[in-house]
Protein backbone atom coordinates (compact mmCIF):
# COMPACT_ATOMS: atom_id res chain seq x y z
CA UNK A 1 0.00 0.00 0.00
CA UNK A 2 2.57 2.53 1.16
CA UNK A 3 5.04 1.38 -1.51
CA UNK A 4 2.53 1.89 -4.28
CA UNK A 5 1.64 5.39 -3.07
CA UNK A 6 5.29 6.23 -2.74
CA UNK A 7 6.24 4.89 -6.15
CA UNK A 8 3.47 6.67 -8.05
CA UNK A 9 4.03 9.90 -6.14
CA UNK A 10 7.74 9.56 -6.79
CA UNK A 11 7.22 9.18 -10.51
CA UNK A 12 4.87 12.12 -10.46
CA UNK A 13 7.28 14.23 -8.51
CA UNK A 14 10.20 13.44 -10.79
CA UNK A 15 8.12 14.13 -13.87
CA UNK A 16 6.76 17.34 -12.39
CA UNK A 17 10.18 18.62 -11.46
CA UNK A 18 11.50 17.73 -14.90
CA UNK A 19 8.63 19.59 -16.58
CA UNK A 20 9.01 22.57 -14.29
CA UNK A 21 12.69 22.77 -15.03
CA UNK A 22 11.98 22.35 -18.70
CA UNK A 23 9.44 25.15 -18.66
CA UNK A 24 11.92 27.34 -16.82
CA UNK A 25 14.99 26.73 -18.95
CA UNK A 26 13.72 25.57 -22.30
CA UNK A 27 10.84 27.93 -22.90
CA UNK A 28 10.90 30.08 -26.06
CA UNK A 29 9.98 33.72 -25.75
CA UNK A 30 6.73 34.51 -27.53
CA UNK A 31 4.88 37.74 -27.21
CA UNK A 32 1.57 36.88 -25.49
CA UNK A 33 -0.01 39.90 -27.18
CA UNK A 34 0.01 38.06 -30.50
CA UNK A 35 -2.28 35.41 -29.06
CA UNK A 36 -4.58 38.01 -27.55
CA UNK A 37 -4.90 39.98 -30.76
CA UNK A 38 -5.42 36.83 -32.85
CA UNK A 39 -8.29 35.86 -30.59
CA UNK A 40 -9.88 39.29 -30.94
CA UNK A 41 -9.74 39.15 -34.72
CA UNK A 42 -12.54 37.26 -36.40
CA UNK A 43 -10.53 34.19 -37.30
CA UNK A 44 -11.98 33.86 -40.79
CA UNK A 45 -8.48 33.97 -42.31
CA UNK A 46 -10.00 35.74 -45.29
CA UNK A 47 -6.92 37.74 -46.21
CA UNK A 48 -8.77 41.02 -46.71
CA UNK A 49 -6.14 42.78 -44.58
CA UNK A 50 -3.42 41.75 -46.96
CA UNK A 51 -1.71 39.32 -44.57
CA UNK A 52 -1.62 35.54 -44.56
CA UNK A 53 -4.52 34.85 -42.22
CA UNK A 54 -5.45 36.42 -38.90
CA UNK A 55 -2.33 35.12 -37.17
CA UNK A 56 -0.07 36.88 -39.65
CA UNK A 57 -2.02 40.09 -39.30
CA UNK A 58 -1.89 39.89 -35.50
CA UNK A 59 1.88 39.51 -35.63
CA UNK A 60 2.10 42.57 -37.87
CA UNK A 61 -0.15 44.57 -35.55
CA UNK A 62 1.87 43.67 -32.48
CA UNK A 63 5.11 44.43 -34.31
CA UNK A 64 3.65 47.84 -35.12
CA UNK A 65 3.85 47.20 -38.86
CA UNK A 66 0.13 47.59 -39.48
CA UNK A 67 -2.69 49.59 -37.91
CA UNK A 68 -5.35 47.44 -36.24
CA UNK A 69 -8.21 48.74 -38.40
CA UNK A 70 -7.25 46.91 -41.57
CA UNK A 71 -9.67 44.09 -40.82
CA UNK A 72 -12.93 45.05 -42.50
CA UNK A 73 -15.04 42.66 -40.45
CA UNK A 74 -13.70 43.61 -37.04
CA UNK A 75 -16.40 45.06 -34.78
CA UNK A 76 -15.78 48.47 -33.13
CA UNK A 77 -15.75 46.80 -29.70
CA UNK A 78 -13.11 44.31 -30.77
CA UNK A 79 -11.10 47.12 -32.29
CA UNK A 80 -11.28 49.04 -29.03
CA UNK A 81 -10.13 45.95 -27.14
CA UNK A 82 -7.21 45.46 -29.49
CA UNK A 83 -6.19 49.09 -29.08
CA UNK A 84 -6.46 48.70 -25.32
CA UNK A 85 -4.40 45.51 -25.36
CA UNK A 86 -1.73 47.24 -27.39
CA UNK A 87 -1.86 50.24 -25.09
CA UNK A 88 -2.41 52.71 -27.92
CA UNK A 89 -5.04 55.36 -28.52
CA UNK A 90 -8.27 53.86 -29.88
CA UNK A 91 -8.30 53.87 -33.66
CA UNK A 92 -11.53 54.60 -35.45
CA UNK A 93 -12.88 51.79 -37.56
CA UNK A 94 -12.89 52.33 -41.31
CA UNK A 95 -16.43 52.70 -42.71
CA UNK A 96 -17.81 49.23 -43.32
CA UNK A 97 -18.19 48.27 -46.94
CA UNK A 98 -20.19 45.40 -48.28
CA UNK A 99 -20.16 43.67 -51.64
CA UNK A 100 -23.03 44.31 -54.02
CA UNK A 101 -23.88 42.44 -57.20
CA UNK A 102 -24.82 45.13 -59.71
CA UNK A 103 -27.33 43.02 -61.64
CA UNK A 104 -30.85 41.89 -60.92
CA UNK A 105 -31.51 40.40 -64.34
CA UNK A 106 -32.67 37.01 -63.09
CA UNK A 107 -34.17 34.16 -65.09
CA UNK A 108 -37.51 35.95 -65.36
CA UNK A 109 -36.19 39.40 -66.24
CA UNK A 110 -33.23 38.69 -68.52
CA UNK A 111 -33.05 36.64 -71.67
CA UNK A 112 -30.66 33.86 -72.54
CA UNK A 113 -29.14 33.38 -75.96
CA UNK A 114 -28.63 29.63 -75.88
CA UNK A 115 -28.72 26.57 -73.67
CA UNK A 116 -25.49 26.29 -71.72
CA UNK A 117 -24.77 22.68 -70.87
CA UNK A 118 -21.36 22.73 -69.29
CA UNK A 119 -19.68 22.90 -65.92
CA UNK A 120 -21.25 25.09 -63.28
CA UNK A 121 -18.74 27.90 -63.14
CA UNK A 122 -19.15 31.47 -64.34
CA UNK A 123 -15.64 31.79 -65.78
CA UNK A 124 -16.10 28.55 -67.73
CA UNK A 125 -19.54 29.64 -68.93
CA UNK A 126 -18.23 33.06 -69.98
CA UNK A 127 -15.61 31.32 -72.13
CA UNK A 128 -18.29 29.55 -74.17
CA UNK A 129 -19.49 32.05 -76.76
CA UNK A 130 -19.32 34.85 -74.20
CA UNK A 131 -21.80 33.28 -71.80
CA UNK A 132 -25.41 32.24 -72.22
CA UNK A 133 -26.92 35.41 -70.85
CA UNK A 134 -28.05 37.71 -73.67
CA UNK A 135 -26.66 40.69 -71.76
CA UNK A 136 -22.87 40.81 -72.00
CA UNK A 137 -22.65 42.44 -68.58
CA UNK A 138 -25.21 40.42 -66.65
CA UNK A 139 -24.69 38.00 -63.77
CA UNK A 140 -24.25 34.51 -65.22
CA UNK A 141 -25.58 32.86 -62.09
CA UNK A 142 -23.26 29.85 -61.96
CA UNK A 143 -22.12 30.66 -58.47
CA UNK A 144 -18.40 31.31 -58.76
CA UNK A 145 -18.70 34.15 -56.24
CA UNK A 146 -20.79 31.96 -53.96
CA UNK A 147 -18.02 29.39 -53.80
CA UNK A 148 -15.38 32.09 -53.29
CA UNK A 149 -17.25 33.62 -50.32
CA UNK A 150 -15.74 32.47 -46.99
CA UNK A 151 -18.69 33.84 -45.01
CA UNK A 152 -21.54 32.18 -46.87
CA UNK A 153 -23.03 35.61 -47.50
CA UNK A 154 -23.95 35.02 -51.15
CA UNK A 155 -27.13 33.35 -52.26
CA UNK A 156 -28.39 32.51 -55.73
CA UNK A 157 -31.83 33.99 -56.20
CA UNK A 158 -33.49 32.89 -59.40
CA UNK A 159 -30.20 32.66 -61.28
CA UNK A 160 -28.64 35.87 -59.99
CA UNK A 161 -26.20 36.21 -57.12
CA UNK A 162 -27.26 38.33 -54.18
CA UNK A 163 -25.04 39.35 -51.25
CA UNK A 164 -26.56 39.45 -47.79
CA UNK A 165 -24.98 42.64 -46.45
CA UNK A 166 -25.38 41.63 -42.82
CA UNK A 167 -23.23 38.53 -43.42
CA UNK A 168 -20.65 40.15 -45.70
CA UNK A 169 -17.19 40.40 -44.13
CA UNK A 170 -15.85 42.76 -46.84
CA UNK A 171 -13.08 40.43 -47.93
CA UNK A 172 -13.50 41.24 -51.65
CA UNK A 173 -13.01 37.63 -52.67
CA UNK A 174 -16.19 37.72 -54.75
CA UNK A 175 -15.11 40.94 -56.43
CA UNK A 176 -11.98 39.18 -57.64
CA UNK A 177 -13.79 35.97 -58.54
CA UNK A 178 -16.52 37.42 -60.75
CA UNK A 179 -15.48 37.03 -64.39
CA UNK A 180 -17.89 39.78 -65.38
CA UNK A 181 -16.54 42.24 -62.82
CA UNK A 182 -20.00 43.31 -61.71
CA UNK A 183 -19.52 43.00 -57.95
CA UNK A 184 -18.65 46.29 -56.31
CA UNK A 185 -17.87 47.33 -52.74
CA UNK A 186 -20.35 49.89 -51.47
CA UNK A 187 -20.74 51.59 -48.06
CA UNK A 188 -22.95 49.49 -45.82
CA UNK A 189 -24.78 52.67 -44.82
CA UNK A 190 -26.04 53.32 -48.37
CA UNK A 191 -29.25 51.62 -49.30
CA UNK A 192 -30.22 52.95 -52.71
CA UNK A 193 -28.30 51.33 -55.56
CA UNK A 194 -28.42 51.02 -59.33
CA UNK A 195 -28.55 47.32 -60.04
CA UNK A 196 -27.18 47.28 -63.57
CA UNK A 197 -23.72 47.13 -65.11
CA UNK A 198 -24.59 47.20 -68.80
CA UNK A 199 -22.65 49.65 -70.92
CA UNK A 200 -24.71 48.79 -73.97
CA UNK A 201 -26.94 51.48 -75.46
CA UNK A 202 -30.48 51.64 -74.09
CA UNK A 203 -32.08 49.94 -77.08
CA UNK A 204 -29.83 46.90 -76.72
CA UNK A 205 -30.46 46.71 -72.99
CA UNK A 206 -34.23 46.88 -73.50
CA UNK A 207 -34.06 43.98 -75.92
CA UNK A 208 -32.32 41.60 -73.52
CA UNK A 209 -33.41 42.61 -70.01
CA UNK A 210 -36.44 44.03 -68.27
CA UNK A 211 -34.47 45.55 -65.39
CA UNK A 212 -31.54 47.25 -67.07
CA UNK A 213 -30.24 50.81 -67.15
CA UNK A 214 -31.23 52.37 -70.45
CA UNK A 215 -29.22 55.54 -69.96
CA UNK A 216 -32.23 57.89 -69.79
CA UNK A 217 -30.54 60.19 -67.24
CA UNK A 218 -33.75 60.80 -65.28
CA UNK A 219 -32.05 59.65 -62.09
CA UNK A 220 -29.10 62.02 -62.54
CA UNK A 221 -31.49 64.97 -62.39
CA UNK A 222 -33.40 63.61 -59.39
CA UNK A 223 -30.33 62.67 -57.43
CA UNK A 224 -28.67 66.08 -57.67
CA UNK A 225 -25.14 64.96 -58.29
CA UNK A 226 -25.17 61.69 -56.39
CA UNK A 227 -25.65 59.77 -59.64
CA UNK A 228 -23.36 60.33 -62.59
CA UNK A 229 -23.33 58.94 -66.09
CA UNK A 230 -20.51 56.66 -67.23
CA UNK A 231 -21.29 56.47 -70.92
CA UNK A 232 -24.80 55.09 -71.09
CA UNK A 233 -24.70 53.66 -67.58
CA UNK A 234 -25.85 55.53 -64.50
CA UNK A 235 -23.51 55.04 -61.56
CA UNK A 236 -24.07 55.99 -57.93
CA UNK A 237 -21.39 58.21 -56.44
CA UNK A 238 -21.38 56.91 -52.88
CA UNK A 239 -19.42 59.90 -51.61
CA UNK A 240 -22.53 62.06 -51.98
CA UNK A 241 -25.67 61.62 -49.92
CA UNK A 242 -28.46 60.00 -51.88
CA UNK A 243 -31.78 60.33 -50.11
CA UNK A 244 -34.35 60.87 -52.83
CA UNK A 245 -37.18 58.48 -51.95
CA UNK A 246 -38.76 58.81 -55.37
CA UNK A 247 -35.86 57.34 -57.33
CA UNK A 248 -36.91 53.65 -57.41
CA UNK A 249 -40.39 54.54 -58.64
CA UNK A 250 -39.14 57.04 -61.24
CA UNK A 251 -36.57 54.74 -62.91
CA UNK A 252 -38.02 53.59 -66.25
CA UNK A 253 -35.48 50.75 -66.38
CA UNK A 254 -36.64 49.58 -62.93
CA UNK A 255 -33.04 49.01 -61.91
CA UNK A 256 -32.86 51.48 -59.00
CA UNK A 257 -33.86 49.74 -55.79
CA UNK A 258 -33.80 50.62 -52.15
CA UNK A 259 -32.65 47.64 -50.13
Partner 1 sequence: MTSYILLVLGAVLVNNFVLNRFLGICPFLGVSKKLETSLGMSGAVIFVMTCAAAVTWCVDHYLLKPYGLDYLQTIAFILVIAAFVQLVEMLLKRYVPPLYSALGIYLPLITTNCAVLGVAVMNVQNKSGFVESTVFACAAGCGFALALTIFTGLREKIERADPPRAFRGVAIALVTAGLLSLAFMGFNGLVK
Partner 2 sequence: MKVSPAPFLFRGGIHPPDSKTATAALPLKDLPLPARLEVSTSQHLGAPAAPCVAVGDRVTAGQLIAKASGFISANVHAPAAGTIAAIREAPTPTGRTATAIIIETDADAPAGEPPYKPIPDWREQAPRSLLDRVAEAGIVGMGGAGFPTHVKLSPPGDKPIDTLILNGAECEPFLNSDNRLLIERAEQVWEGCQIIRRILGAGTIRVAIEDNKREAAKALAAAMESAPDDAHIHLLKTLYPQGSEKQQIYSVTGRTVPMGGLPMDVGCVVENVATAYAVWDAVVNGRPLTARAITVTGDAVNTPTNWFAPVGTSFADLVAASGGARDNLAKLIAGGPMMGFALPSLEVAMSKTSSGLLLFPRECVRPYRSMACINCGRCVEACPLGLMPNELSQAAEADDIDEAENRHVMDCFECGACAYVCPARRPLVQHMRRAKAVITQRRRAAAQQKKT
Residues forming contacts to partner 2 in the complex (CB under 8 A) are 113-115, 117-119, 121, 123-124, 127-130, 132, 136, 147
Phi, psi (rounded to 5 degrees) for 76: -60, -35
Left, alpha or beta for 87 (phi > 0: left; psi -120 to 50: alpha)? left
Q: Which does 127 bind (CB under 5 to 8 A by kind): partner 2, partner 1, none?
A: partner 2
Q: Which does 39 bind (CB under 5 to 8 A by kind): partner 1, partner 2, none?
A: none
Nearer to partner 2, 11 or 176 (CB): 176
Rounded least distance, CB 18 to partner 1, Å? 6
Rounded least distance, CB 60 to partner 2, Å? 19
Q: Which does 18 bind (CB under 5 to 8 A by kind): partner 2, partner 1, none?
A: partner 1
Measure Cα distances from 232 to 137, 138, 197, 205 in Å: 13, 15, 10, 10
Q: Which does 7 bind (CB under 5 to 8 A by kind): partner 2, partner 1, none?
A: partner 1
- 12 contributes a contact to partner 1 by CB under 8 A: yes
Q: Which does 26 bind (CB under 5 to 8 A by kind): partner 1, partner 2, none?
A: partner 1
Q: Which does 181 bind (CB under 5 to 8 A by kind): partner 2, partner 1, none?
A: none
Rounded least distance, CB 240 to partner 1, Å? 49
| CA-based torsion, 106, 107, 110, 113: positive or negative | positive
Q: Which does 12 bind (CB under 5 to 8 A by kind): partner 1, partner 2, none?
A: partner 1
Region 25-64 residues binding partner 1, contact defined as CB under 8 A: 26-28
Nearer to partner 1, 6 or 157 (CB): 6
Rounded least distance, CB 222 to partner 1, Å? 50
Rounded least distance, CB 89 to partner 1, Å? 36
- 7 contributes a contact to partner 1 by CB under 8 A: yes
Distance CA 149, CA 99 (A): 11
- 1 contributes a contact to partner 1 by CB under 8 A: no
Residues 97/175, Cβ–Cβ less than 8 Å: no
- 249 contributes a contact to partner 1 by CB under 8 A: no
Distance CA 57, CA 67 (A): 10
- Contact positions vs partner 1 (CB under 8 A): 3-4, 7-8, 11-12, 15-16, 18-19, 22-23, 26-28
Amino acid sequence: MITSILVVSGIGLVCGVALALGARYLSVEENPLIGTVTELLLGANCGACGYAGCGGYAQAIVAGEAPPNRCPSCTPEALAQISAALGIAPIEAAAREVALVLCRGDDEQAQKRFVYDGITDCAAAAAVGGGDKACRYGCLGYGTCLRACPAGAIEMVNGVARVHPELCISCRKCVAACPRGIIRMVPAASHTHIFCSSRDPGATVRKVCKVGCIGCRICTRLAEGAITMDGTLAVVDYKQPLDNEELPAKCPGKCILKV
